[in-house]
Protein backbone atom coordinates (compact mmCIF):
# COMPACT_ATOMS: atom_id res chain seq x y z
CA UNK A 1 0.00 0.00 0.00
CA UNK A 2 1.34 3.42 -0.98
CA UNK A 3 0.13 6.54 0.87
CA UNK A 4 0.40 9.77 -1.12
CA UNK A 5 -0.32 13.31 0.08
CA UNK A 6 -1.23 16.00 -2.44
CA UNK A 7 -0.41 19.44 -1.08
CA UNK A 8 0.48 23.05 -1.74
CA UNK A 9 0.75 26.08 0.47
CA UNK A 10 -1.15 28.16 -2.06
CA UNK A 11 -4.86 27.70 -2.67
CA UNK A 12 -6.50 27.26 -6.05
CA UNK A 13 -3.57 25.60 -7.81
CA UNK A 14 -5.39 22.31 -8.32
CA UNK A 15 -4.59 20.03 -5.37
CA UNK A 16 -7.99 18.40 -5.47
CA UNK A 17 -7.81 18.18 -9.26
CA UNK A 18 -4.51 16.29 -9.05
CA UNK A 19 -5.75 14.06 -6.22
CA UNK A 20 -8.87 13.27 -8.26
CA UNK A 21 -6.81 12.76 -11.43
CA UNK A 22 -4.62 10.23 -9.64
CA UNK A 23 -7.74 8.61 -8.18
CA UNK A 24 -9.16 8.42 -11.69
CA UNK A 25 -5.98 6.80 -13.03
CA UNK A 26 -6.12 4.27 -10.19
CA UNK A 27 -9.84 3.71 -10.88
CA UNK A 28 -9.14 3.02 -14.55
CA UNK A 29 -6.68 0.28 -13.52
CA UNK A 30 -9.02 -1.20 -10.93
CA UNK A 31 -6.66 -0.39 -8.07
CA UNK A 32 -8.30 -0.50 -4.66
CA UNK A 33 -8.03 3.12 -3.61
CA UNK A 34 -8.89 5.10 -0.49
CA UNK A 35 -9.29 8.84 -0.98
CA UNK A 36 -9.00 10.85 2.25
CA UNK A 37 -10.25 14.41 1.94
CA UNK A 38 -8.37 16.56 4.49
CA UNK A 39 -9.52 19.84 2.98
CA UNK A 40 -12.44 21.42 4.90
CA UNK A 41 -13.72 22.77 1.57
CA UNK A 42 -14.64 19.13 0.81
CA UNK A 43 -14.30 19.50 -2.97
CA UNK A 44 -12.83 16.03 -3.44
CA UNK A 45 -15.66 14.59 -1.34
CA UNK A 46 -18.17 16.23 -3.68
CA UNK A 47 -16.40 15.00 -6.79
CA UNK A 48 -16.57 11.31 -5.92
CA UNK A 49 -20.27 11.34 -5.21
CA UNK A 50 -20.51 10.18 -1.61
CA UNK A 51 -23.33 12.48 -0.53
CA UNK A 52 -23.07 13.56 3.10
CA UNK A 53 -21.12 10.87 4.96
CA UNK A 54 -22.10 10.25 8.59
CA UNK A 55 -18.48 10.37 9.74
CA UNK A 56 -15.67 12.40 8.26
CA UNK A 57 -11.95 12.98 8.63
CA UNK A 58 -12.82 15.53 11.32
CA UNK A 59 -14.35 12.81 13.51
CA UNK A 60 -11.44 10.46 12.79
CA UNK A 61 -8.85 13.03 13.85
CA UNK A 62 -10.84 14.05 16.94
CA UNK A 63 -10.95 10.40 18.04
CA UNK A 64 -7.59 9.17 16.74
CA UNK A 65 -7.72 5.70 18.29
CA UNK A 66 -5.66 3.11 16.42
CA UNK A 67 -7.58 1.89 13.39
CA UNK A 68 -10.64 4.11 13.98
CA UNK A 69 -10.37 5.48 10.43
CA UNK A 70 -11.91 2.35 8.99
CA UNK A 71 -15.25 3.29 10.58
CA UNK A 72 -15.39 6.46 8.49
CA UNK A 73 -14.71 4.75 5.15
CA UNK A 74 -17.67 4.94 2.76
CA UNK A 75 -18.37 3.80 -0.78
CA UNK A 76 -18.10 6.29 -3.60
CA UNK A 77 -20.16 6.77 -6.72
CA UNK A 78 -17.14 5.67 -8.77
CA UNK A 79 -17.66 2.01 -8.01
CA UNK A 80 -16.44 -0.63 -5.59
CA UNK A 81 -12.70 -0.02 -6.04
CA UNK A 82 -12.89 3.58 -4.83
CA UNK A 83 -13.56 4.22 -1.11
CA UNK A 84 -13.57 7.56 0.65
CA UNK A 85 -13.12 9.24 4.01
CA UNK A 86 -14.96 12.46 3.39
CA UNK A 87 -14.52 15.98 4.67
CA UNK A 88 -16.76 18.63 6.18
CA UNK A 89 -16.44 22.25 7.22
CA UNK A 90 -15.83 21.29 10.86
CA UNK A 91 -12.53 19.71 9.81
CA UNK A 92 -11.12 23.22 10.12
CA UNK A 93 -11.21 22.70 13.91
CA UNK A 94 -8.55 20.00 13.49
CA UNK A 95 -6.09 22.35 11.76
CA UNK A 96 -4.49 23.37 15.06
CA UNK A 97 -2.16 21.27 17.19
CA UNK A 98 -3.82 19.52 20.13
CA UNK A 99 -1.62 17.83 22.67
CA UNK A 100 1.41 15.63 22.29
CA UNK A 101 1.86 13.72 19.01
CA UNK A 102 -0.85 15.85 17.45
CA UNK A 103 0.67 15.36 13.98
CA UNK A 104 0.42 11.57 14.29
CA UNK A 105 -3.33 11.34 14.82
CA UNK A 106 -4.12 10.34 11.23
CA UNK A 107 -1.28 7.82 11.08
CA UNK A 108 -2.55 6.27 14.31
CA UNK A 109 -6.13 6.23 13.09
CA UNK A 110 -5.02 4.48 9.88
CA UNK A 111 -2.70 2.09 11.73
CA UNK A 112 -4.76 -1.06 11.51
CA UNK A 113 -6.72 -0.19 8.39
CA UNK A 114 -7.14 -3.41 6.42
CA UNK A 115 -4.34 -3.99 3.95
CA UNK A 116 -6.85 -4.26 1.13
CA UNK A 117 -5.95 -0.91 -0.39
CA UNK A 118 -3.32 -0.54 -3.08
CA UNK A 119 -3.27 3.24 -2.85
CA UNK A 120 -4.27 5.85 -0.27
CA UNK A 121 -4.56 9.42 -1.57
CA UNK A 122 -4.76 12.36 0.86
CA UNK A 123 -6.04 15.68 -0.45
CA UNK A 124 -4.58 18.40 1.81
CA UNK A 125 -5.92 21.88 2.57
CA UNK A 126 -4.12 24.95 1.21
CA UNK A 127 -1.98 25.52 4.27
CA UNK A 128 0.92 23.93 6.08
CA UNK A 129 -1.05 23.62 9.33
CA UNK A 130 -1.87 20.60 11.44
CA UNK A 131 -3.98 18.85 8.79
CA UNK A 132 -1.12 18.90 6.30
CA UNK A 133 1.32 17.83 9.04
CA UNK A 134 -0.96 14.89 9.78
CA UNK A 135 -1.15 13.98 6.09
CA UNK A 136 2.62 14.09 5.58
CA UNK A 137 3.25 12.17 8.80
CA UNK A 138 1.08 9.35 7.46
CA UNK A 139 2.48 9.31 3.90
CA UNK A 140 5.14 7.55 1.86
CA UNK A 141 5.13 10.10 -0.93
CA UNK A 142 4.18 13.76 -1.41
CA UNK A 143 2.96 15.50 -4.54
CA UNK A 144 3.32 19.28 -4.53
CA UNK A 145 1.03 21.02 -6.97
CA UNK A 146 1.88 24.37 -8.48
CA UNK A 147 0.84 26.56 -11.36
CA UNK A 148 3.47 28.22 -13.54
CA UNK A 149 3.15 31.67 -11.95
CA UNK A 150 5.10 33.73 -9.46
CA UNK A 151 3.05 33.21 -6.29
CA UNK A 152 2.40 29.52 -6.86
CA UNK A 153 6.05 28.67 -7.48
CA UNK A 154 6.94 30.43 -4.22
CA UNK A 155 4.31 28.31 -2.46
CA UNK A 156 5.82 25.18 -4.00
CA UNK A 157 9.20 25.98 -2.47
CA UNK A 158 7.55 26.43 0.92
CA UNK A 159 5.77 23.10 0.59
CA UNK A 160 9.00 21.34 -0.39
CA UNK A 161 10.59 22.68 2.77
CA UNK A 162 7.64 21.41 4.80
CA UNK A 163 8.11 17.93 3.36
CA UNK A 164 11.80 18.01 4.31
CA UNK A 165 10.94 19.04 7.86
CA UNK A 166 8.42 16.25 8.32
CA UNK A 167 10.82 13.70 6.79
CA UNK A 168 13.50 14.83 9.23
CA UNK A 169 11.22 14.77 12.27
CA UNK A 170 8.00 12.79 12.46
CA UNK A 171 8.17 10.60 9.34
CA UNK A 172 11.55 9.33 8.09
CA UNK A 173 9.86 7.08 5.50
CA UNK A 174 8.51 10.12 3.61
CA UNK A 175 10.42 10.31 0.34
CA UNK A 176 11.41 13.45 -1.55
CA UNK A 177 8.43 15.22 -3.02
CA UNK A 178 7.44 15.46 -6.67
CA UNK A 179 6.47 18.89 -8.00
CA UNK A 180 3.63 18.76 -10.51
CA UNK A 181 2.89 21.76 -12.74
CA UNK A 182 -0.82 22.22 -13.32
CA UNK A 183 -2.86 24.24 -15.79
CA UNK A 184 -0.02 24.84 -18.22
CA UNK A 185 -0.80 26.84 -21.37
CA UNK A 186 1.55 25.88 -24.16
CA UNK A 187 1.35 29.30 -25.84
CA UNK A 188 1.99 31.38 -22.72
CA UNK A 189 5.53 32.79 -22.46
CA UNK A 190 5.09 33.65 -18.78
CA UNK A 191 4.24 30.00 -18.11
CA UNK A 192 7.32 28.90 -20.05
CA UNK A 193 9.48 31.22 -17.94
CA UNK A 194 8.18 29.78 -14.65
CA UNK A 195 8.53 26.21 -15.88
CA UNK A 196 12.17 26.96 -16.59
CA UNK A 197 12.62 28.56 -13.17
CA UNK A 198 10.98 25.64 -11.39
CA UNK A 199 13.23 23.19 -13.20
CA UNK A 200 16.32 25.25 -12.39
CA UNK A 201 15.36 25.49 -8.72
CA UNK A 202 14.14 21.96 -8.09
CA UNK A 203 15.73 19.89 -10.83
CA UNK A 204 14.53 16.31 -11.07
CA UNK A 205 11.92 16.86 -8.38
CA UNK A 206 9.80 18.51 -11.09
CA UNK A 207 7.62 15.93 -12.81
CA UNK A 208 8.54 15.96 -16.52
CA UNK A 209 4.95 16.00 -17.78
CA UNK A 210 2.88 19.08 -16.99
CA UNK A 211 -0.89 19.00 -16.76
CA UNK A 212 -2.28 21.15 -19.56
CA UNK A 213 -5.23 23.44 -19.07
CA UNK A 214 -8.26 21.40 -20.06
CA UNK A 215 -11.99 22.16 -20.11
CA UNK A 216 -12.78 18.49 -19.55
CA UNK A 217 -11.44 18.53 -15.98
CA UNK A 218 -14.09 20.81 -14.43
CA UNK A 219 -16.77 19.17 -16.56
CA UNK A 220 -15.92 15.70 -15.26
CA UNK A 221 -15.78 17.03 -11.70
CA UNK A 222 -19.23 18.58 -12.04
CA UNK A 223 -20.50 15.29 -13.45
CA UNK A 224 -18.94 13.46 -10.44
CA UNK A 225 -17.21 11.13 -12.89
CA UNK A 226 -13.62 9.90 -13.16
CA UNK A 227 -11.65 11.93 -15.68
CA UNK A 228 -10.69 8.70 -17.43
CA UNK A 229 -14.35 8.10 -18.30
CA UNK A 230 -14.60 11.53 -19.94
CA UNK A 231 -14.05 11.12 -23.64
CA UNK A 232 -12.67 14.20 -25.29
CA UNK A 233 -9.24 14.69 -26.87
CA UNK A 234 -8.16 17.11 -24.11
CA UNK A 235 -9.36 14.82 -21.34
CA UNK A 236 -7.52 11.87 -22.84
CA UNK A 237 -4.30 13.88 -22.97
CA UNK A 238 -4.64 14.93 -19.32
CA UNK A 239 -5.59 11.39 -18.31
CA UNK A 240 -2.32 10.16 -19.79
CA UNK A 241 -0.36 12.63 -17.67
CA UNK A 242 -2.10 11.28 -14.56
CA UNK A 243 -1.31 7.73 -15.71
CA UNK A 244 2.35 8.70 -15.92
CA UNK A 245 2.21 10.35 -12.51
CA UNK A 246 0.65 7.23 -11.01
CA UNK A 247 3.37 5.14 -12.67
CA UNK A 248 5.99 7.27 -10.96
CA UNK A 249 4.36 6.61 -7.61
CA UNK A 250 3.70 2.91 -8.00
CA UNK A 251 5.30 1.56 -11.18
CA UNK A 252 3.25 -0.96 -13.09
CA UNK A 253 4.03 -2.73 -16.36
CA UNK A 254 2.11 -1.22 -19.24
CA UNK A 255 1.91 -2.25 -22.85
CA UNK A 256 3.86 0.00 -25.23
CA UNK A 257 5.19 3.45 -24.52
CA UNK A 258 3.08 6.55 -24.41
CA UNK A 259 3.72 9.52 -26.64
CA UNK A 260 2.84 12.39 -24.34
CA UNK A 261 2.55 15.49 -26.46
CA UNK A 262 2.99 18.09 -23.76
CA UNK A 263 6.22 17.82 -21.83
CA UNK A 264 8.43 20.35 -20.16
CA UNK A 265 11.15 19.67 -22.72
CA UNK A 266 9.24 21.80 -25.18
CA UNK A 267 9.92 24.84 -23.00
CA UNK A 268 13.58 24.31 -22.21
CA UNK B 1 -16.80 -1.41 7.47
CA UNK B 2 -18.19 -2.56 10.78
CA UNK B 3 -16.94 -1.23 14.11
CA UNK B 4 -14.84 -3.50 16.26
CA UNK B 5 -16.85 -5.37 18.87
CA UNK B 6 -14.75 -4.61 21.93
CA UNK B 7 -14.81 -0.84 22.00
CA UNK B 8 -17.21 2.04 21.42
CA UNK B 9 -17.53 3.07 17.81
CA UNK B 10 -16.62 6.32 16.15
CA UNK B 11 -18.77 9.28 17.18
CA UNK B 12 -19.26 12.72 15.72
CA UNK B 13 -16.70 15.20 17.04
CA UNK B 14 -18.20 17.47 19.75
CA UNK B 15 -17.59 20.52 17.58
CA UNK B 16 -19.06 19.03 14.40
CA UNK B 17 -21.88 21.57 14.36
CA UNK B 18 -19.77 24.53 15.47
CA UNK B 19 -18.86 26.88 12.66
CA UNK B 20 -15.06 27.26 12.47
CA UNK B 21 -15.33 31.03 12.80
CA UNK B 22 -17.31 30.87 16.06
CA UNK B 23 -15.24 32.44 18.86
CA UNK B 24 -14.33 29.96 21.58
CA UNK B 25 -16.23 30.18 24.85
CA UNK B 26 -13.87 31.23 27.62
CA UNK B 27 -14.21 31.27 31.37
CA UNK B 28 -14.09 35.08 31.17
CA UNK B 29 -17.26 35.08 29.07
CA UNK B 30 -19.04 32.96 31.63
CA UNK B 31 -17.88 35.13 34.51
CA UNK B 32 -19.27 38.12 32.70
CA UNK B 33 -22.62 36.41 32.23
CA UNK B 34 -22.75 35.47 35.89
CA UNK B 35 -21.93 38.97 37.03
CA UNK B 36 -24.72 40.43 34.99
CA UNK B 37 -27.25 37.73 35.64
CA UNK B 38 -29.07 39.55 38.39
CA UNK B 39 -29.26 42.92 36.69
CA UNK B 40 -31.52 44.26 34.00
CA UNK B 41 -28.64 44.75 31.60
CA UNK B 42 -27.31 41.21 31.83
CA UNK B 43 -25.38 40.09 28.80
CA UNK B 44 -26.66 36.53 28.74
CA UNK B 45 -29.48 34.53 30.21
CA UNK B 46 -28.91 33.50 33.84
CA UNK B 47 -27.77 29.90 34.25
CA UNK B 48 -30.41 27.55 35.59
CA UNK B 49 -28.14 25.99 38.20
CA UNK B 50 -25.89 27.75 40.64
CA UNK B 51 -22.22 26.91 40.03
CA UNK B 52 -20.50 25.20 42.94
CA UNK B 53 -17.10 23.62 43.52
CA UNK B 54 -16.47 19.88 43.32
CA UNK B 55 -13.05 18.73 44.36
CA UNK B 56 -12.03 15.25 43.27
CA UNK B 57 -8.78 13.26 43.04
CA UNK B 58 -8.04 11.85 39.59
CA UNK B 59 -4.94 10.34 37.95
CA UNK B 60 -2.55 12.99 36.70
CA UNK B 61 -2.72 11.62 33.17
CA UNK B 62 -6.50 12.03 33.19
CA UNK B 63 -6.20 15.64 34.30
CA UNK B 64 -3.71 16.25 31.49
CA UNK B 65 -6.05 14.63 29.01
CA UNK B 66 -8.98 16.80 30.16
CA UNK B 67 -6.86 19.94 29.93
CA UNK B 68 -5.74 19.00 26.42
CA UNK B 69 -9.31 18.40 25.32
CA UNK B 70 -10.43 21.72 26.81
CA UNK B 71 -7.63 23.52 24.97
CA UNK B 72 -8.42 21.77 21.71
CA UNK B 73 -12.14 22.59 21.92
CA UNK B 74 -11.61 26.14 23.16
CA UNK B 75 -13.61 25.60 26.36
CA UNK B 76 -12.71 25.45 30.04
CA UNK B 77 -11.73 22.35 32.02
CA UNK B 78 -14.91 22.94 34.06
CA UNK B 79 -16.97 22.72 30.86
CA UNK B 80 -15.38 19.39 29.84
CA UNK B 81 -15.85 17.81 33.28
CA UNK B 82 -19.41 19.11 33.61
CA UNK B 83 -20.26 17.71 30.18
CA UNK B 84 -18.80 14.30 31.08
CA UNK B 85 -20.75 14.18 34.34
CA UNK B 86 -23.93 15.34 32.64
CA UNK B 87 -23.63 12.59 30.02
CA UNK B 88 -22.73 9.77 32.42
CA UNK B 89 -24.86 6.65 32.23
CA UNK B 90 -27.53 6.53 34.96
CA UNK B 91 -28.00 3.08 36.54
Confidence of residue A113 (pLDDT cuts 50, 70, 90): low
What pLDDT was estimated at residue A98? 82
Are B10 and A58 inside 8 Å of each other by CB?
A: no
For every residue of chain A, DSSP letters joined together read -EEEEEE-SSTTSSHHHHHHHHHHHHHHHT--EEEEE--TT-HHHHHTT--S-SS-HHHHHHH--TTGGGGG-EEETTEEEEEEE---GGGGGGGS--STTGGGHHHHHTTT--TT-SEEEEE--SSSSHHHHHHHHT-SEEEEEE-SSHHHHHHHHHHHHHHHHHHHTT-TTPPPPEEEE-SB-TT-HHHHHHHHHHHHHHGGGB-SS--B--THHHHHHHTT--GGG--SHHHHHHHHHHHHHHHHHS----SS----S--GGGG-
Inspect the interface and report whether the beta carbons of B20 and A90 lie closer than 8 Å: yes
**What's the whole-number mean pLDDT along residues A131-150?**
95
Q: How far is A12 from chain B (nearest CA, A)?
A: 20
Q: Does A30 touch chain B (CB under 8 A)?
A: no
Residue A68 touches chain B, beta carbons under 8 Å: yes
Structure confidence at residue A162 (pLDDT)? 92
Q: What tens digit of pLDDT does each residue of A210-240 get?
A: 998 887 788 878 878 898 888 888 888 899 9
Residues of B with CB under 8 A from a CB of A: 1, 3-4, 7, 9-20, 68, 71-73
Comparing CA positions, the residue from A207, A214, A202, A213 lying closest to residue A265 is A207
CB of A88 less than 8 A from some CB of B: yes
Residues of A in contact with B72 (CB under 8 A): 96, 98-99
What average pLDDT does the segment B54-71 reach?
89
A179-200 pLDDT tens trace = 999 999 988 999 999 999 999 9
**Confidence grade of residue B91 (pLDDT, cut at 50, 70, 90):** low
Q: Whole-angstrom Cα distance, residue A132 to residue A91?
A: 12
Strand order of the β-sheet with A119-123 is A74-76, A79-85, A33-37, A119-123, A2-7, A141-146, A178-181
- The reported pLDDT for the residue numbered A252 is 61
Tell whether the model's pLDDT for residue B89 goes beyond 90. Answer: no
Is residue A92 within 8 angstroms of chain B, CB to CB? Answer: yes
Residue pair B80/B66 in contact by the 8 Å Cβ criterion? yes
pLDDT given at position B26 = 57
Which of A36, A71, A105 to probe by mutation at the B interface, max B CB count within 10 Å?
A: A71
Smallest Cβ–Cβ distance between A58 and the set B7, B16, B72 belongs to B16
**Residue of B11, B12, B67 to mutate, testing the A interface (most A Cβ within 10 Å of its Cβ):** B12
Mutate to test the interface with B, among A62, A75, A86, A95 (most CBs of B within 10 A): A62
| Selected residue with higher pLDDT from A261 and A66 | A66
Task: Kindly report the average pLDDT of chain A as a whole number.
Answer: 88
Per-residue pLDDT at A106: 96
For A60, name the nearest residue in chain B, comparing CA atoms only: B10
Does B14 sit within 8 Å of A62, measured CB to CB?
Answer: yes
pLDDT at B17 over 50: yes
In this predicted structure, the answer to whether residue B47 has a pLDDT above a threshold of 60 is: no
pLDDT digits (tens, 9 = 90+) for A2-60: 999 999 988 889 999 999 999 999 999 999 999 999 999 999 999 998 888 999 999 99
pLDDT at position B46: 46
**Chain B nearest C-alpha distance from A196 (Å):** 40
- Cα angle at A89 between A80 and A228, to 5 degrees? 35
Judge: A59–B15 Cβ closer than 8 Å, yes or no.
no
Question: Cβ–Cβ of B72/A98 closer than 8 Å?
Answer: yes
What's the pTM value of the predicted model, to 2 decimals?
0.76
pLDDT of residue A24: 95
| Cα–Cα distance, A248 to A126 (Å, whole number) | 24
User: Is the pLDDT confidence value at A143 over 90?
Assistant: yes
> Nearest Cβ partner of B10 from A72, A98, A99?
A72
Amino acid sequence: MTVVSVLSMKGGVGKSTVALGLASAAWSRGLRTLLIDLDPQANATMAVDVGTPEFTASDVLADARPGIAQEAIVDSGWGPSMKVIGSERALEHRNVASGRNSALRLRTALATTPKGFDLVLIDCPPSLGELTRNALSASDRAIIVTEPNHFATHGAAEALEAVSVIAATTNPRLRAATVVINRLRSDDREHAFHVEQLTLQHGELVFPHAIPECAGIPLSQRAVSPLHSWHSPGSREVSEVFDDLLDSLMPAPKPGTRDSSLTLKRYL
Amino acid sequence: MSPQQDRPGLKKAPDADVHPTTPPTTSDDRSLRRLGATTGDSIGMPDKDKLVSLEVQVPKSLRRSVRNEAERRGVTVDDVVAEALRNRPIH
